[in-house]
Structure 1
Amino acid sequence: APGLPVLELPAWDCLPYDRVSPGSDAAAKRLDALTAMIALAKKPHRAVILTTANALLQRIPPSELVEAQTFHARPGNQIDMNALVSRLETSGFERVPTVRGIGEFAVRGGILDLFAPGWTEALRLDFFGDTLESIRVFDAATQRTTGQRKSMALQAMSEVALTPETISRFRRSYIEAFGAPQRDDGLYAAVSEGRRFAGMEHWLPFFYERLETVFDYLPDTPVIFDHLAHEALAERHTLILDHYEARRKQADGALKDAVPYKPVAPDLLYLSPENLITSLGPREAIDFTPFDAPDVGAKKVYHAGSRHGRSFVEERADPNANVFDVVVKHIADERAARRRVVIAGWTEGSLDRLGQILAEHHLGNLKQVVTLAEAEKLEPGQAALAVLPLESGFETEKLVVVAEQDILGDRLIRRSKRKKRPSDFIAEASALSAGDIVVHADHGIGRFIGLRTIEAVGAPHDCLEIHYAGDDRLFLPVENIELLSRYGSDTAEATLDKLGGGAWQSRKARLRKRLLDMAGQLIRIAAERQMRSAPPLVPAEGLYGEFAARFPYEETDDQQTAIDSVRDDLAAGKPMDRLICGDVGFGKTEV
């Protein structure tokens, strides 16, 4: 729907029945979307709400309680600063010395800094007694003031509000579901004391008298399901049930003194696909399909009037054809037929390169548009370039979109390595088998025994049990799993280290010395290289662009940086001095 405002409602970014809470970014985006949906229900206007199968199946807090947690203020208001601090803490904000990220607040005398969901910058509230004197915008990175605000709307940071009412209801529901809690039940103890507990959101039904669904927030809004959405909903529900059963079985294998994870019943926290269909009620529900298909009973099936655009796969495979000449002719034919044409690239860089190549093949007079809404305003027969995340092009009666992948082939993306999230840890630990030889960065070679739940500081923690020589044992929290690596393939010759022994540190010290010696040699070689010269090598841009376009993978930021650096080296008039490093399959060959 070009031109309409879009709200995005993401799902929790953690696994079902996890021991960790949703990340602050995901929680902020969810509360921002829920608050906007409440406002939309009160003052209806045309808008699009985008969500996922995961988010749609998840039950959410009642709208009136989410609305009640929203706090409005403007300069001149009388506000009890201590009451505001208490409100922030019960709403899920974290008190810190200096505000750096979403969900944090800090207090310094009569100044309160906070960074709330939905805000692009943090706010600084300046109080004189109980009077709010000013609301200033500041950059969380530099702490410098960048502007003023006339008002603010502050919403919660978590879907769990720890109020006397919700705490009482949680205690009652927890006991009804699981019986009297153990003395060292960290979750029950923390909530009873009004403290937040990691992963407490997974017991969301216990905090409220009832939960709602996305459909309850917007009771008369039509719903459109994308192609294969129902299959995605069924797969997600199966995953939820699998995790629930895994937690139940894990409780049976917990250590004697450990408090087992007690999962809430799936139907309390999630919708089943059948419940979801029932929740739709009499509202209009439409299924998008890429095919011409009739309605099925009350179920409406809608073909949006577009079809797949032309793919140039045959021309790419023909060694005697130039795919760019064929593309230019195709675009010229469509323009002659008075149809608008958009050439879509995935990124600014790839679009610039594609535009240069097409220009060299005599495709000119191209405009630049940002959205499809702008493309619809082009004059008939005009062509334009746009950055659009399209895997393939499409055609309507008046518009032809040619995607980068149609011309160059399927867009292939390597998954970039990222910092491990807590939600990934249990899965990785479970991938280890009992008896595997592992290497700890600080303690050396040990034998993995299994995943154990132990009590620490009054709370249960998932740990990896590792045995060392002399029957020494190490319980490593799963959040520190990056300290472990697998031993080489030949584990038969592995000798276990002793915890606290000096052998492992001695081996590391010897290796460190060898590396320092090698570094000295490299420095001497680098100095000699700087004294020499070489002929500069600069490729012709047009030919280089066509050559680069033949590679099917989209360059990552790191790849592009490496490519640019190598080209600079070749043109510098010095012998090359660069090593391209990367994991197997991460694109060194393309560089």
Structure 2
Amino acid sequence: MEAELHPAAKAVLDTGALRTLSRDLPAPGTTRTVGGAPGSLPLAALAALATLLPHRRWVVAASSPGEAGEHLSDLETLLGPGAAVHYPQREDFGTDDGDDSRIETRGRRVEAFESFLGSRAPILVATRRALQELAPLPRDLAALRFTVTTGQVLRPGALADALEKRGFERAPMVEQAGQYAVRGGLIDLFSFGAAGPARVEFWDDDVESIRFFDILDQRSTGDTGRIDILPVSFGAGPGESSRTSPAQSPDLPRGTPTAPSSLLDRLARGTVLVRIGGGGWTEEATPVWRRAESRYRDAARWGSPARRPGRLFLAPEALAGRARLHPQLVFVEEHVGDPVFQARRPPPIERDTRRLRSFLAGAAASGAETHILCDNEGQAARLEELVAVRDRVPAGCHLVVGSISGGFRLASATAPVNVLTDHEIFRRGRKLRRRKRFRGAASLESLAQLSPGDYVVHMEHGIGRFRGLERVTIGGESIESLVIVYDGDEILRVPVDLLDQVERWVGTHPDDAPARLHRIGGKRWKTLKRKTQAAINRMTAELLELYAAGRARPG
């Protein structure tokens, strides 16, 4: 498997520090500091450890949602999709999982929980606030997953009831995860944890076929023999009081609600908690707890409904106590601790081609290997042209598609290794891609597709104009957001992790512009969406009539 590793992880794997760490991980209740870990070296080390120790489980505790996104993207680059899952923190600070306004957040929490504790993904990434949050996490992991297979005896009504009990919303047409639609002998559904939306076809009380379909044009894309369905949130589903497998009995009643607990309470004691720099558990948990206390006092003062902090979060000391039950690794850039990687940050290139060529020439002369990590094939081709001398790249220089957040220079490998990233060379932000789409809109996959002045369409507010990126501070967290200008110069700020709610506006011709911008929350956009939905419903009815006529025709 080492040969399949990303070059950055392979370089770290070849160090004595990594070998020492793999042989002597901290025991439960102890913490080990690992020094000399700049840039994305901690994630490369974790990728190497996960490769060497495939039966171990790892939880990466990030300081913010943005940092969690970077860690997840690095791990997907280093190990491939599916090796790491993201357990996001709740969108709404003062609510529990059942009341969180974002169904995508609720569903992704269930999906990550089930995948990690079910040993399908060895690494889970979460913010420390997400680990501090309390939720009705089920103890019976098997009860979460409900399976439908071709040939199974299952009434269409029983499947619909099972979906309702798991929190699915019935809709005229499935457009996002957490929805289902009933159309004659067909049930369309989109579950978190599934490869995509699925269409279940019944013949009387038998499942005749299961097909995946494209959520944009509703056309079938391929057959499958089974689908696994997860609840849309914790607390939705058959509950853990039932002893019968939901795959055998899909119409189980809701069970007794599970007492709220932290994700840390559900981890095996040997699960390694990984922190990269930052403060301690109590230090980072205290502002969250104080904010929850303040919100509760304000709500009580005004007679508004609110939950006590202890129903939503672990107290700071309790969080630190839970963490101390597990082995902990803390990576720091300073050369302290044991072991210590002989690594440092690469020199700044500052978009200077001559400086880059000089660095590569010096690396070649010293016998070092240099890997330049690029976001895509086009960027790799561009860099190859820039660094080539007489149409040849310098000795030891390798252009690799698959970038990480930060580069590093490693002297302690078998041979010196330099890991550079194209976004650091050109001094620009790294563009994180959303690899999974839970909605039907043709959403943007990368900020690279947008330039200031472009017209965009927000799912809830309609057409506006993209002005640029801006960092805003919410609840003490710095969040990068898209700034969209609407009619009347109204401003909407969309966090970059909600990029899937925005798509580029496209006219008939490249130079077309929309007649006018919409207003935030205005009636024109809502009316247009309602008319479009009505047209889709009419088309769906016509297709169902054709389908029924075809089934009734002899032969």
TM-score scaled by length of structure 1: 0.53
| 2:392 matches 1:364 | yes
- The alpha carbon displacement at 1:89 in A equals 1.4
Which residue of the other structure, out of 199, 215, 221, is the alignment partner of 1:140?
215
Residue number in structure 1 paired with 2:137: 62
- The alpha carbon displacement at 1:105 in A equals 0.2
| 2:362 matches 1:333 | yes
Residue number in structure 2 paired with 1:342: 371
Residue number in structure 2 paired with 1:261: 305
| 2:370 matches 1:291 | no
| 1:412-452 deviation per Cα after TM superposition (whole angstroms, max 9, x unaligned) | 99998995999xxxx9999xxxxxxxxxxxxxxxxxxxxxx
Residue number in structure 1 paired with 2:110: 31
- The alpha carbon displacement at 1:144 in A equals 1.0
Task: Provide closer, same or farther for how the CA distance between residues 305 and 62 of structure 1 changes in structure 2, counting only shifts above 3 A.
Answer: farther
Which residue of the other structure, out of 146, 149, 165, is the alignment partner of 1:74?
149
Task: Provide closer, same or farther for how the CA distance between residues 72 and 46 of structure 1 changes in structure 2, counting only shifts above 3 A.
Answer: closer
Structure 1: how far apart are the matches of 2:121 and 2:292? 38
Does the 8 Å CA contact 2:147/2:229 hold for their aligned counterparts? yes
| 1:270-321 deviation per Cα after TM superposition (whole angstroms, max 9, x unaligned) | 2234322321354321111111223xxxxxx6544432112236xx7xxxxx
- The alpha carbon displacement at 1:344 in A equals 2.6
Residue number in structure 2 paired with 1:445: none
Task: Provide closer, same or farther for how the CA distance between residues 98 and 281 of structure 1 changes in structure 2, counting only shifts above 3 A.
Answer: same
- The alpha carbon displacement at 1:382 in A equals 4.6
Uncovered stretches (5+) of structure 2, i.e. residues with no partner: 1-46, 48-77, 242-252, 432-446, 462-471, 476-485, 492-498, 505-509, 518-555
Residue number in structure 2 paired with 1:353: 382
Residue number in structure 2 paired with 1:307: 344
Structure 1: how far apart are the matches of 2:174 and 2:168? 11
Does the 8 Å CA contact 1:287/1:302 hold for their aligned counterparts? no
Letter of the 1:408 partner, please give it: F
Structure 2: how far apart are the matches of 1:209 and 1:250? 24
- The alpha carbon displacement at 1:69 in A equals 2.8
Structure 2: how far apart are the matches of 1:406 and 1:36? 33
Task: Provide closer, same or farther for how the CA distance between residues 84 and 240 of structure 1 changes in structure 2, counting only shifts above 3 A.
Answer: farther
Task: Provide closer, same or farther for how the CA distance between residues 355 and 90 of structure 1 changes in structure 2, counting only shifts above 3 A.
Answer: same
Letter of the 1:250 partner, please give it: A
Does the 8 Å CA contact 2:90/2:130 hold for their aligned counterparts? no
| 2:422 matches 1:404 | yes
Does the 8 Å CA contact 1:124/1:136 hold for their aligned counterparts? yes
| 2:91 matches 1:17 | no
| 2:236 matches 1:157 | no
Structure 2: how far apart are the matches of 1:484 and 1:302? 59
- The alpha carbon displacement at 1:351 in A equals 4.4
Task: Provide closer, same or farther for how the CA distance between residues 252 and 280 of structure 1 changes in structure 2, counting only shifts above 3 A.
Answer: closer
Residue number in structure 1 paired with 2:396: 381
Task: Provide closer, same or farther for how the CA distance between residues 66 and 234 of structure 1 changes in structure 2, counting only shifts above 3 A.
Answer: farther
SS state at 1:64 partner: coil
Task: Provide closer, same or farther for how the CA distance between residues 278 and 483 of structure 1 changes in structure 2, counting only shifts above 3 A.
Answer: farther
State the identity %: 20
Structure 1: how far apart are the matches of 2:192 and 2:348? 42
Structure 2: how far apart are the matches of 1:348 and 1:236? 42
Does the 8 Å CA contact 2:144/2:237 hold for their aligned counterparts? no
SS state at 2:221 partner: strand
Structure 1: how far apart are the matches of 2:423 and 2:173? 46
Task: Provide closer, same or farther for how the CA distance between residues 153 and 390 of structure 1 changes in structure 2, counting only shifts above 3 A.
Answer: same
Task: Provide closer, same or farther for how the CA distance between residues 483 and 405 of structure 1 changes in structure 2, counting only shifts above 3 A.
Answer: closer
What RMSD in Å do the two structures reach over aligned CA positions?
4.3
Does the 8 Å CA contact 1:288/1:304 hold for their aligned counterparts? no
SS state at 1:310 partner: coil
Structure 1: how far apart are the matches of 2:202 and 2:424? 59
Which residue of the other structure, out of 121, 131, 142, is the alignment partner of 2:206?
131
Letter of the 1:291 partner, please give it: E
Structure 2: how far apart are the matches of 1:209 and 1:394? 48
SS state at 2:425 partner: helix
Task: Provide closer, same or farther for how the CA distance between residues 138 and 77 of structure 1 changes in structure 2, counting only shifts above 3 A.
Answer: same
Task: Provide closer, same or farther for how the CA distance between residues 382 and 389 of structure 1 changes in structure 2, counting only shifts above 3 A.
Answer: closer
Residue number in structure 2 paired with 1:513: none
Residue number in structure 2 paired with 1:225: 275
| 1:65-121 deviation per Cα after TM superposition (whole angstroms, max 9, x unaligned) | 453131012111112332322221121211001111111101112211101102342
| 1:7-42 deviation per Cα after TM superposition (whole angstroms, max 9, x unaligned) | 2223235131159624222222221111112221xx
- The alpha carbon displacement at 1:389 in A equals 3.6
Structure 1: how far apart are the matches of 2:195 and 2:400? 29
SS state at 2:354 partner: helix
Letter of the 1:11 partner, please give it: P
Task: Provide closer, same or farther for how the CA distance between residues 89 and 229 of structure 1 changes in structure 2, counting only shifts above 3 A.
Answer: farther
TM-score scaled by length of structure 2: 0.56
Residue number in structure 2 paired with 1:395: 410
SS state at 1:37 partner: helix
SS state at 2:182 partner: strand
Number of equivalent positions: 365
Task: Provide closer, same or farther for how the CA distance between residues 165 and 390 of structure 1 changes in structure 2, counting only shifts above 3 A.
Answer: closer
Which residue of the other structure, out of 315, 320, 324, is the alignment partner of 1:277?
320
- The alpha carbon displacement at 1:229 in A equals 5.4
SS state at 1:112 partner: strand
Does the 8 Å CA contact 2:94/2:312 hold for their aligned counterparts? no
Which residue of the other structure, out of 261, 264, 267, is the alignment partner of 1:211?
261
Which structure ranks higher in relative contact order (CA pairs < 8 Å, sequence separation ≥ 6)? 2
Asked which structure has the greater CA Rg, the reply is: 1
| 1:193-225 deviation per Cα after TM superposition (whole angstroms, max 9, x unaligned) | x99xxxxxxxxxx94235242452333211111
- The alpha carbon displacement at 1:247 in A equals 4.0
Task: Provide closer, same or farther for how the CA distance between residues 90 and 23 of structure 1 changes in structure 2, counting only shifts above 3 A.
Answer: same
- The alpha carbon displacement at 1:410 in A equals 5.7
Uncovered stretches (5+) of structure 1, i.e. residues with no partner: 167-193, 196-205, 255-259, 295-300, 317-322, 367-379, 431-481, 488-555, 562-567, 570-576, 583-591
Task: Provide closer, same or farther for how the CA distance between residues 362 and 409 of structure 1 changes in structure 2, counting only shifts above 3 A.
Answer: farther
| 2:301 matches 1:252 | yes
- The alpha carbon displacement at 1:324 in A equals 1.7
Does the 8 Å CA contact 1:393/1:403 hold for their aligned counterparts? no
Structure 2: how far apart are the matches of 1:165 and 1:46? 23
SS state at 1:153 partner: strand
Residue number in structure 2 paired with 1:238: 287
Does the 8 Å CA contact 2:150/2:209 hold for their aligned counterparts? yes
Structure 1: how far apart are the matches of 2:383 and 2:139? 51
| 2:158 matches 1:83 | yes
Does the 8 Å CA contact 2:139/2:240 hold for their aligned counterparts? no
Structure 1: how far apart are the matches of 2:374 and 2:87? 26
